[in-house]
Every structure is written in C-alpha cells, then in structure tokens.
Amino acid sequence: MSDRDVRDPDSGGEAPREAPDEHHAEPPPGAHAMNLLRWVLFAGLLVLAVVSVGSFLLSHRPGSSTSAHAHARYYCPMHPSYTSDRPGECPICGMSLEPIPAAGIGATAGSGGDVHGLTSVHLTPDRLQMIGVRTARVEKRAVGGDLSLAGVVAPDEGRLYRVQLRLAGWVKDLFVTAEGQSVSAGQPLCTVTSPQLYQTEQEYLIELSARTLGGGAGGHDGGGLGAARGRLVLFGVPHDEIRRLGSEKVAQANFTVPSPVNGVVIERNATQGQQVTPDAPLYTIADLSHVWVLADLYELDFGRVKAGDRAIFTSEALGGRARDGRVELVAPTISAETRTLKVRLSLENPDGKLRPGMYGRVQITGRGGQALVVPGEAVIDSGDQQYVFLAHAGGEFEPRRVWTGARNGDRVQIVKGVAEGDTVVASASFLIDSESRLKAAINGMGAQPGAPHPH
C-alpha cells in the first residue's frame, strides 16, 4: 500500500489526512483589502464623471452664457469671447478692452449694412481721433461741367491726297525722296516711263494726222481724234503734256508726275526703278492748313459731350498757347479694345505748328446739372462693388453700397445708395473697412456663444 493510503476509522487509528493540492494556492495576505480599495476608487471616479457632465449641461443651457457674463462690462474686439468686469488688456492679444454696447457684443445701433462681407462697427472717440477719421455730408452740386481729355493731332482725312498712276510703268527719277517734305501744287514728284503711255500718244498722233489730211474736224476722223484725246485724259496725262504732243508731234514714254496740292508728304512708296501699277500709290500728301484733334471719351462721360460744344486744345509744343475749336463729331461706335468713343475737333492751322502725332489736352465745356456728390476718398472700390461708410450718432459706422456717376475734380457723383444730408467717412475709410471685415468674419465664425449667426 502506498503512503497515500488512509486507515479505516473503525480500526481506532488516526483520522485520515488528504494530500495537499499542488494546483490550488492560498491568496497572499492583504489581497482582499486591495480589491476593496480598487472598487472604492472606481465608484469615486464614476460619481465625479456624473457630476462633471451635469455641470457641463447646466452651464450650456440657453441663457447660461448671459448669466455667466451678467456682470461683464468690457470685452476684447479681437476675441469677443473674453469679457471682464473692469477695464484692462486682453490676456490673449494684449488689445485694450472696450465697453460692451447696451445691445450686447456684436450688436450695433444701426443695421449691419448691405455690403457683402462687411458689418457695422462701433468706434470710441479716442480711436476715431487716433486714426484721423474725417466725415463729410452728402450734398448737391453741379457736375458735368468742364471735361479734360487727352488729344492727339491727326491730318484732316478730307484733305488727304494719294498720288497714283492710271497706267503701268517704271519709276525713272525721284524728285521728292523724304516723308515730311513740304511740296507745292504742280511741283514735280517723280518721272515715270510707261510703254502704255507711248502707245496711247502714238494713237493720238495718228488721229491728229488723219484729221489734218482730211482737211477738217468733222465726220469719223474728228470723232477718232476726240476719243484718242479722251484716253490720254483718262490715263491722267497732264494737259501740258497733251499740248506739247499736239505742237511737237512726237510721242514720249516718259512723263512727270506733279503734286496736286500744297501740303506735306506723309507717306512715300515710290523708289527709283520700281515697277508701278494703278493699284499702288506713289505718295500721300496732306494739306495741314486744317487738322483734326482726336480724343477718347470714356463711358462714364458719354452723355456730357455733344457735337457743337466749345473746345480748347493746348500743348506744350505750342508754348502754352491755346487753339479754339468746336466738337465736330462724337463717334457713334465704341472701341472694343479701349471701351471709349472718339471725339473729333476741327482746328485751323495756318502757321503749320499743329503737326500730326502731337499730343495735348482737350478742354471741353460739357453739359451737366445738379447731382449728389461725395469726396472721392469716401468711395471704396472692391472691384465688384463700390461702397461708403455712413456715420451714425454714437460712433456707429454702417457700410452702404453705392452706384457712382461722373467725377468732377475731387468729388464723385452718387447715382444711388445715399440721400442728401447723410454723413459719410471722408478719410481713413480703409481702417474702418478693415475692422468691419474682421468683425464680420468673427461674427460669421460664431465667436460669441448663443449669439445669432449673421446673414
């Protein structure tokens, strides 16, 4: 029998003992205390979490923010969520705290304005003085008076002459070789050799001889001579050449091209030895005793100038002397490139001092009337819209969209958006504009809990 056998209790021996279990160990001392402590800590953390959640929900009920800030009298314009019951500086950005308006943070006495991305702002008198804000009243004034435009002298197109041949040939000699050269009527410009001219003159001499032999000017022979002479005239042969041909009875292939008028050569296309045809001009001559002045009129001023308006042209090249004239034409079409209309003046130029290409200023006595105007600095142009800042009582500034019209000096006409007697910001508008944009952005992000979201 092994050592694990036990004795029978009836035998009167010792009570049997069970062998110890190798897989079951007694817990170490203090284990029960540690388990109890762990459960106590867990229960405490659970109670603390419940209390925190309850406090958070109570603090975010509607009206809780108002009660939390019931005693706040100042706020930071850059961080509206920070408030204080005493003046000082914002601990976030260091900006001076401002008094909370009676209507609450983010509210103003007026409306938020009708300009997208802007809102009304409130500025204290100290800040207004520091940034140098000046205001001006919207008033009625005469606009559309004198109008100053840039002008350039151009030849009168009704006094341009193009020298062209009516038959083919070759340029033999050139007498006028430079553009800008002055010529007089009848002055030789060049000599042309033309076989076609020689043949036509020969036909004229044949008809002239036949008439002489026939002893009269009537009948068929007289008609042939007239037709031959007519061909010479149609070819542009000068009358002096026709008379020479009748007296000398000798045909020539060469003839001299004269200037048709007194003027200035503004274009020369003839070159010695060049072949010329009827469709190629040799010279362009301009009579500059009368010239045009062309000026660009912008869309804003279309209604201010009419044909017949008095105009004055001045140029530094004239030594300050002015030339009087009248508006002869306002072009009916708009240039697609410059979006302007051409205004044309006609000026007498007996001394020839007005030269094509000369720049100057055109002062036109336009037509205008009474209209609402504001200082030019008051209007802010963002590219897609124009607006001003209306000044209200108590340091409130409201952005207001406007539509502008004519400009008269430092004043701008307001077609729509404000009324006579309104007060607008005339200087430092960009500073108020920056603060308005910043405030609109902050309001848009909902920086103030419980505040209504702006449109």
Smallest CA-to-CA distance from 305 within 380, 406, 386 is with: 406
Task: Kindly state whether residue 12 falls inside one of the protein's structural domains.
Answer: no
Smallest CA-to-CA distance from 119 within 417, 437, 448, 428 is with: 437
Shared domain for 315 and 389, answered yes or no, is no
Instruction: For 398-443, write each residue's pLDDT tens digit.
Output: 999 999 887 777 888 898 899 999 999 998 888 888 888 888 887 7
CATH at 318: 2.40.30.170
Task: Kindly state whether residue 392 falls inside one of the protein's structural domains.
Answer: yes
278 pLDDT more than 60: yes
Task: Kindly state whether residue 55 falls inside one of the protein's structural domains.
Answer: no
pLDDT on residue 80: 65
Shared domain for 201 and 247, answered yes or no, is yes
Of 250, 267, 284, which residue constitutes the final position of a domain?
A: 284
pLDDT on residue 89: 86
* Contacting residues for 393 by C-beta, under 8 A, at least 6 apart: 109
Task: Kindly state whether residue 60 falls inside one of the protein's structural domains.
Answer: no
Instruction: For 81-106, write each residue's pLDDT tens digit.
Output: 677 888 888 888 777 887 776 555 54
Q: Are 172 and 191 in contact (CB under 8 A)?
A: yes
CATH at 221: 2.40.50.100
Return the HEC string of 120-161.
Answer: CEECCHHHHHHHCCEEEECEEEEECCEEEEEEEEEECHHHEE
Shared domain for 358 and 405, answered yes or no, is no
Shared domain for 272 and 216, answered yes or no, is yes
Burial class of residue 115 in the structure, from the number of CB atoms within 10 Å of its CB (0-12 exposed, 13-18 middle, 19+ buried) = buried
For 296, the enclosing helix (H) or strand (E) is: strand 290-298
- Least confident stretch, 234-243, 321-330, 361-370: 361-370
Percent of the chain with pLDDT strictly greater than 70: 77
Instruction: For 43-89, write each residue's pLDDT tens digit.
Output: 777 766 665 555 555 444 444 444 444 466 777 766 666 778 888 88
For 360, the enclosing helix (H) or strand (E) is: strand 359-365
Task: Kindly state whether residue 253 falls inside one of the protein's structural domains.
Answer: yes
Higher pLDDT, 129 or 146: 129
Total count of domains within the chain: 4
Of 230, 252, 284, which residue constitutes the final position of a domain?
A: 284
Task: Kindly state whether residue 339 falls inside one of the protein's structural domains.
Answer: yes
Task: Kindly state whether residue 215 falls inside one of the protein's structural domains.
Answer: yes
Question: CA-to-CA distance for 308 and 240, rounded, in angstroms?
Answer: 45
pLDDT on residue 42: 73
pLDDT on residue 284: 94
- Domain enclosing residue 77, as ranges: 69-100
Shared domain for 237 and 259, answered yes or no, is yes
Look up the pTM and report it.
0.50
Of 229, 264, 284, which residue constitutes the final position of a domain?
A: 284
Question: CA-to-CA distance for 434 and 37, rounded, in angstroms?
Answer: 61
CATH at 397: 2.40.420.20
Shared domain for 152 and 193, answered yes or no, is no
Shared domain for 300 and 396, answered yes or no, is no
Shared domain for 151 and 292, answered yes or no, is yes
Cα angle: 327, vertex 336, 347; to 5 degrees: 20
Question: CA-to-CA distance for 62 and 450, rounded, in angstroms?
Answer: 7
Task: Kindly state whether residue 30 falls inside one of the protein's structural domains.
Answer: no
Shared domain for 122 and 137, answered yes or no, is yes
Shared domain for 377 and 397, answered yes or no, is yes
Shared domain for 339 and 431, answered yes or no, is no
Instruction: For 174-201, write each residue's pLDDT tens digit.
Output: 999 999 899 999 899 999 999 998 999 8
Shared domain for 248 and 167, answered yes or no, is yes
